[in-house]
Amino acid sequence: MQRHRVVVTDFTEPGHDIESDVFASSGLAIDLVTVKEAGRSALLAATAGAHALMVQFARIDRVLIGTLTSCRVIARYGVGVDMIDIDAATDMGIAVANVPHYCVDEVSLQTIGFLLDLNRRTLPLAAHVRAGRWGTAPPVTPPSRLRGQLLGVVGFGAIGSEVARKARALGLEVIAYDPFAVADQHPGISFVPLTRLLAESDYVTLHCPLTEATRGLIGAAELAQMKPSAYLLNLSRGPVVDQAALTKALRAGVIRGAALDVLGTEPPDPADALLRLDNVIVTPHVASWSIEAGAELRRGVAQSVVDALLGREPASVVNRDQLLARARR
Ligand SMILES: NC(=O)c1ccc[n+]([C@@H]2O[C@H](COP(=O)([O-])OP(=O)(O)OC[C@H]3O[C@@H](n4cnc5c(N)ncnc54)[C@H](O)[C@@H]3O)[C@@H](O)[C@H]2O)c1
């Protein structure tokens, strides 16, 4: 029986018991190789000749992909595939698979959690009490009632639309910007140009993928279009926001505050001034985090590998159309 070499380049959680169970029940002979904290040359050495890769944050670029002469699939632990050179994978005939939907509940809930924390001033008030104070004169502006405020959702896919559903249940009104959304499929949501969304929203939340079109989508000019009382939430990818411009805007009061689960550089430089601003909440890229989401993610990645090795199409292949076009050439 042919043995298949499957390489895990990186994954934040330890252990691969769920993946191993999926492999065991597939009937395939799979050798699972994990690359721990590898530098670039060790990564290249480990992945060369692999039959499948399972990847999380490691940069899978054209040089690395060029060595994958036997690889059927690069399966991403996650939704976003911005760390993988999709064109290079297509050129090599390799499918790039992701696991959509595994953390829609978690990311949408963390977005709402951020929104509530910002509105209810939870962090400054908790700091106020922790500093031994009490009373009705904490050093923060009083919130406006959340019901009736306007949430602008940028990127109205699985997560953005679930954020909208939850937000409307709290009495918020929702508008959205998404150049690819079909408005008829989302009754009750007004799709508007980005400039209008920025100018009108009390909260702007980003849920688009990181692509060449969305890199730096929110910079100094866009922040200046927002209301001084507005908040920016980013749970998509750090580089969608110009972080230097955001830091400046938060300092200067161009907008009132921000909540970020993702940053331009992860992990950030501990000296980064953004991390110490009073009007920003930062969490360490954990919005997808739950026991259930983690298990679904592992099963999804392992199943994509099994499907590809068995010659079946994995459930979610992001370069499916490009591979079909390549096959027709
Ligand atoms: N913080 C986390 O832990 C975490 C977890 C999961 C996903 N994410 C990020 O969230 C993103 C969205 O996830 P999803 O499951 O909703 O994906 P999705 O593909 O279902 O939705 C993305 C939406 O963005 C839209 N979009 C594409 N280009 C756009 C543009 N230029 N401007 C505005 N909208 C645009 C698409 O049309 C789509 O509707 C992922 O790509 C990933 O980067 C982050």
Residue ranges of domains in the chain: 3-101+291-328, 104-282
What pLDDT, in 10s, does the model give residues 241-278? 999 999 999 999 999 999 999 999 999 999 999 999 99
Residue 89 in this model has a pLDDT that exceeds 90 = yes
Does 14 sit behind a cis peptide bond, omega within 30 degrees of 0 on the bond before it? no
Among 77, 79, 192, 241, residue to substitute to test ligand 1 (most atoms within 8 Å of Cβ): 79
Residue 320 confidence (pLDDT): 98
The domain made up of 104-282 has a fold known as Rossmann fold (3.40.50)
How far is it, in rounded angstroms, from Cα 11 to Cα 190?
A: 38
Q: Ligand 1, atom 38: nearest CA belongs to which residue? A: 157
Catalytic positions: 237, 266, 285
DSSP secondary structure code for residue 219 in this structure:
-
Q: Which atom of ligand 1 is nearest to the CA of 287?
A: 3
Residue 70 in this model has a pLDDT that exceeds 70 = yes
Q: Which atom of ligand 1 is nearest to the CA of 214?
A: 31
Task: Give yes or no for a contact between 7 and 287, defined as CB atoms under 8 angstroms apart.
Answer: no
* The model's pTM: 0.93
Q: Does 3-101+291-328 match 104-282 in CATH topology?
A: yes
DSSP secondary structure code for residue 137 in this structure:
-
CATH code of the region 3-101+291-328: 3.40.50.720
Residue 37 in this model has a pLDDT that exceeds 70 = no
What six digits make up the tokens of 219? 């910079």
How far is it, in rounded angstroms, from Cα 103 to Cα 57?
A: 17
Tell how far the Cα of 80 is from the centroid of ligand 1, in angstroms. Answer: 7
Tell how far the Cα of 155 is from the centroid of ligand 1, in angstroms. Answer: 6
Q: Which residues line ligand 1 (CB under 6 A)?
A: 79-80, 100, 103, 107, 154-160, 177-181, 207-211, 213-214, 235-237, 261-262, 285, 287-288
